[in-house]
Amino acid sequence: MSAETQEFGKWRAFFWPIHAFELEKIIPMLLMFFFITFNYTILRDTKESLLITAAGAEAIPFIKVWGTVPAAILFMLVYSRLSNLLSRETLFYLTITTFLLFFVIFATVLYPNRDLLHPQAFADSLKAFLPEGLGGFAECVRNWTYGLFDIMAELWGSMVLGLLFWGFANDTTKVSEAKRFYALFGLGANFSLLVSGPVTIAFSDIRRTTPPDIDSWQISLNYLMFFVVLAGLAIMAIYWWIHRYLITNPRFYNPEEIRIREAKPKMSVRESLVYLAKSKYILCIAALVVSFGICMNLIEVTWKAQLRLQFPHPNDYNTFMGYFSTTTGITTIFMMLFVGGNALRKSWGLAAILTPLVLLITGIAFFCFVLYKDSLATYTSIMGTSPLWLAVLFGGIQNVLSKASKYSLFDPSKETAYIPLDPDARIKGKAVIDLVGSRVGKSGGSIIQEILLLFCGTLAAIVPYVAVILLFFIALWILAVRSLHKQFLQLTERP
């Protein structure tokens, strides 16, 4: 019988292993996670509707390599520098405010003036000059404001969710608490999907009732960014309350331990990278993050190419993504209640290995369907549908299961792995891995696709090669999990 079962009873340990006095600590964290993920979902769906419907899925690999990765490195350099100059609280407010200002400027200035800002003639000449496989790069140049929005939306996930929230949680949570708390933090994130999904649907589906001479997408964008700003203000308000009323409460936090963690040594970015490169433990965490990013990118780009063909208008695309987010939220909550938290409490290795196994099974099934979908045309016509719609639907199921595994298994196990480290390794390692490692993972998948596109020309032609490469990185991921599990046990079981 586990310690949690003895302490809480069988069913309470399964669903809610939290003491009553701990609610004062966990509820604000749940709310903060809720609003951060609410914004991330809206921004993720909106960026895809903007960029993919205008530039095509072929633009995704180029925007990630030539836009997102350089921006992530720049943000990491600035953040690392500011972390040595500003308090953690001030840096948190500054980061959130920077993002909110950009999204307001995009909705009120950049998007309304897109016809003036987008270099159509130059992009046309560039596309005519480049090989067919580099056409996505020309479309990124043409739609550069959409690409900038895509970059900032991606960095919201890395900076605010990955670095600010989880960094704060890791600094104020013990390993024993993390095994009970972290899967429940994900509930806040995925209840947000149940809210952000319907919000996206409601304000993206207005095209049906908007006169044809009105830009319905501009109206949708204004509403969506309004909700993003409101949620951002709520995040800062909750963080302020935690610092004023909880951080000072010795029942929940050890003030001396927090001061020790905040008094981190002043290391340059180069020194941090060199230091982390010498740590096998940190490198294994990096291998997990990079492999996950590459695998998800390889699958998503193929699926989104099918999705764009089915929904060419941004309002229709965003409406579908709203339903997709809602379904993801429901599935993830189910997995958190019945799989994630219990797997993490039983074994860190069990929780960590399930995500690559899910991607392995669903990824193989999806690529097989895409490769052979045309041979199913006769059967789909009998069913009253099309091979394209079935590809979209089947890919959506694959992505729902992959994201549900990420939120319920991958994120909690990854964040728990940081906790046994000393404060210096935890802070510096998390900043480098979460901000740059995740972007390198996604850009790695994009670089692979760029090279394949250069030789093969189209996304459809590279699908067989992408499937084989996916299998390779899943195998690498599983090996990293096995190595990290052994090291994690040594750190957590030592006296």
Q: Which amino acid is at 120?
A: Q
Task: For residues 68 and 72, give the distance between their C-alpha atoms in angstroms, rounded to a whole number.
Answer: 6
DSSP 313-382: SHHHHHHHHHHHHHHHHHHHHHHIIIIIHHHHHH-HHHHHHHHHHHHHHHHHHHHHHHHTGGGGHHHHHH
Q: What is the DSSP string of 254-267?
A: -HHHHHHHHS----
Tell me which H or E stretch contains 276. helix 269-277
Cα–Cα dist 188/234, whole Å: 14
495/493 Cα distance (integer angstroms): 6
Say if CB 418 and CB 484 are below 8 A apart.
Answer: no
pTM: 0.73
Residue 231 to residue 38: CA distance in whole angstroms: 8
Based on its alpha-carbon atoms, the radius of gyration of the chain, rounded to whole angstroms, reads 22
Residue pLDDT tens, the chain, 495 long: 445 555 555 555 555 566 655 666 778 888 888 899 899 989 988 998 888 888 888 888 888 888 887 888 888 788 878 888 888 889 999 999 999 999 999 999 999 999 999 999 998 898 888 887 788 888 889 999 999 999 999 899 888 887 888 778 777 676 666 666 666 776 666 778 888 888 888 888 777 777 777 788 889 899 999 999 999 999 999 999 888 877 665 555 555 544 444 444 445 556 656 766 778 888 889 889 899 989 988 888 888 888 888 888 888 888 888 888 889 888 888 887 777 667 777 788 888 899 999 899 888 888 887 777 777 666 666 766 777 777 788 888 888 888 888 878 888 888 888 888 877 777 767 767 765 666 677 778 888 988 888 888 777 788 889 989 999 999 999 999 999 999 988 888 754
Phi-psi region of 428 (alpha: psi -120 to 50; beta: other; left: phi over 0): alpha
How far is the C-alpha of 193 from the C-alpha of 95, rounded, in Å? Answer: 23
**206 token code pair:** 């207005």
Q: What is the DSSP string of 151-191?
A: HHHHHIIIIIIIIIIHHHHHHT--HHHHHHHHHHHHHHHHH
Asked if 239 and 92 count as a contact pair (C-beta separation under 8 A), the reply is yes
**How confident is the model at residue 42, as a pLDDT?**
92
Cβ partners under 8 Å of residue 486, min gap 6: none
Is residue 282 classed as helix, strand or coil in its secondary structure? helix
* pLDDT number for residue 231: 95
At 259 the pLDDT is 46
Tokens of 315: 């309002």
Burial letters for 225-235: b for 16+ Cβ neighbours within 10 Å, e otherwise? Answer: bebbbebbebb
- What are the residues whose beta carbons fall under 8 Å from the beta carbon of 231, sequence distance 6 or more? 35, 36, 38, 39
pLDDT tens, position by position, 171-210: 767 666 666 666 677 666 677 888 888 888 888 877 777 7
End-to-end C-alpha distance for the chain, whole angstroms: 23
Ordered structural domains, the chain, with CATH: 16-493 (1.20.1250.20)
pLDDT given for residue 260 in this prediction: 44
Q: What does each C-alpha distance from 19 to 3, 7, 12, 25, 345 come to in angstroms?
A: 14, 10, 10, 10, 16
pLDDT at residue 176, rounded to an integer: 62
Rounded to whole angstroms, the Cα distance separating 341 from 409 reads 8
